[in-house]
Structures are given as C-alpha cells and as structure tokens.
Amino acid sequence: MIIVIDQTERGLLLRDGKLCRALLPGRYRLWGRRSRIRTVPLEEEIACPELTAKQLAAHPALKEAVAAVEVGDGQIALHFLDGRFAGCLREGVHLFWQEAGAHTFLLEDFSDPEVSERVPAAVFDKLPACFFHRVEVPEGKRARLLFNKKLVRLLEPGTYFFWRGRVRVETELVDVRLTRMELSGQEILTRDKASVRINFVLTYRFTDPVTPFLENEDPAEQLRLTAQLALRDYVGTRTMDEILEDKDKISAAVLAGLAPRAKALRAEIAEAGVKDIILPGEIREIMNSVLAAEKRAQANVIARREEVASTRSLLNTARLMEENRTLYRLKELEALEKICENVGSLTLNGGDFLSQLTALIRPAGGQD
C-alpha cells in the first residue's frame, strides 16, 4: 500500500498502535497490517485517534517538530500563527507543527473576568460569543460594572470585553445627559377649593452616576415624587387667582422644594417650569365670560374717550372759523372739492362759477 503525503501535510507512522516517527512529504509504502500512517494538515492541530495529545507531546520523535501548549481548567489559550489569530483552545494539551510558522499562545484565566491588555480587541470579532461579554457604552452615558453584584468601577464611553467564567458580569447604563421629566395631569385642589390640572416639566442630570444608585432604589422616581409634593404644597396653599397671576412663582417654589433632595441624590436641576394650567369646564366658561366683559368695558371706555376728543376737536374748529372768515372760506372750498370728487357732472350758467358752486352748499339766505 502506497501513501502520498503532499507539501501541505505531515504524517505520523504508527506500528501496533505505537508512534514510530513523523513523516515529511513524499511517497511511502506500507507492508502488512501492523503499520499505519495518519496524515495531518500542516496548519491544523495535530490529532491521532490511537494516541492522546499528551502522549504525542511526550514522544521523542515529535519533541522538536511540534509546538505544544497545555491549557488548564478555567483557562483559554489564544493561538496566534505568525502573529495572526488562528483560534482559541480549551482545556487540554494541544500540538501544532513547527513548520507551519511561528506559534504563540496567550493563556487567559476565566476566574478573572478582566481581559488583559495584551489581548488585541480584534480577536473578539473571531471568538465565539460564549467566551466573552461585550459591553457598549454610548456617548452621553456611563456604565456601572458589577462582578457578582458588587460594584467594581465606572465605565466611560467605549467598547469593553470581559471573560465569561465563574464570575457573573453585569453592567447598568446611567444617562449623564440632561434628562427631561414631565409631571403630567397633576390634579390639585387650590385653597379656595377649585380643582386645577397642572402640567409641569423639569430637566436634570445626575452628576454622580454611582452613589445615588447605590443608596437609593430609583433616584429618578424619588426626584419625581419630591417634585410632585412640592407642587402640591404650593398650589394647595394658594387661591386660583394667585396661581393664574404668576406661574413663575410656582416654578420657583418647586425648585426650592426640590433643592435639598436633589443635593442628596447628586442631581443637578437645570430648569423647571409650568407647561400648562388646565381649568375645569365650568370655571373656564366663567373666566372667559369675565374676560369678555372686561374687554367690552375697556372698548366702551375707549369709544367714549374718542367721541369726547372728536367733539372737542369740532368745537375748536367751529370757534376758529367763527373768528376767522378766511378760514371759513377755505373750509367752504374744501367742501366744494369733496362734492366735485363725488358728483359726476354739474350744470352751471354763465357768470361767476365759484359763486354758483358756493351757493350749492350754503343755506338759503346765508351770508359771507
């Protein structure tokens, strides 16, 4: 029986199930059934059904021909061939042909989830996801890193990798940007027993993404409850007219009530304000009626003021014309000009045309 080993392979000669030697590329003739040749691709891991990897590594015929690595329990070995990532190796002994290239191995311990700096990030694009956790922290956020429910550190924006092993790795994202909070439809009774609904809005950010979340179950919800109580405390001690007169006072009161709690929660309140004040239907109709009456009264006052001013102006004009005949004559001519603009045609007999036109606007028996 002839066996051919090409340039991309190496061979293992076995006799009676025992390794005799390694074979280079070439043609080999086997005699009898006691001998067998196992071919192994040059760039793949050496494996032989008849022998374990540990037995192969201990054989004198392979000591110089192979690169060996032993991976212990809870470990992983990252295999690099000529500087390129070739694969990951689990527990056990692993053998590779030296002729394939320069073999290097990075042993990583799964008991520590932290990935050492010597592991290139590009490796994780080729590793199976069962070996590691990938954590993405976007801009504007931070992540609390926990090992077995215990806080380790705060992660800045970026991409992080952690080994999957005995330690449970968890992350919790925290938004450190300005966040909008709305208190919608807060129905509150005023001091004069009127029911109003108020929509309130505030913007805030947590200056410390760690401490308030360790000391409090839900810091954002506690901030909301404090704002609601401050809003109710203020509105409940004011009449409806006082509330409608100045909405800015509501904002200032809520900010003052929020300040101590916000400080304890390491929160910064950027701004706060009343978005809407909604009155009940009956109250709204009454308010509209009152407003309409006020506007009508203002319009009447303005109309009377204008009438008085107009009458006074006419009286002054009449006095001037009575005292000055030339001015009286000019007013007549002005009236004639307006008549001529609005009359299609006039029939005049010969003579003094101006006198005839003037006679049209003077009463009978009138004098100059």
Q: What per-residue confidence (pLDDT) applies to 362?
A: 58
Cα 327 from chain centre: 78
Q: Give me the residue label for tokens 């330690």.
A: 167
Return the higher-pLDDT residue of 95 and 33.
Answer: 95
The C-alpha atoms of residue 158 and residue 141 are separated, in whole angstroms, by 10
DSSP-derived letter for residue 217 is: S
For 37-50, the pLDDT digits (tens) are: 888 888 888 888 88
Sorted by where each begins, the domain ranges of the chain are 179-279, 336-368
Whole-number Å distance between alpha carbons of 102 and 83: 8
Of all residues in the chain, what percent carry a pLDDT higher than 70?
A: 89
For 151-188, what is each residue's pLDDT tens digit? Answer: 899 999 999 999 988 899 999 888 888 889 988 888 88
Considering the chain, what is the average pLDDT of its residues? Answer: 83
Strand residue runs (E) in 164-234 = 169-175, 179-189, 195-206
Helix (H/G/I), strand (E/B), else coil: 119: coil
| Helical segments of the chain, H only | 53-58, 211-215, 219-235, 240-245, 247-264, 281-323, 325-342, 353-361
Domain 179-279 falls under CATH 3.30.479.30: yes
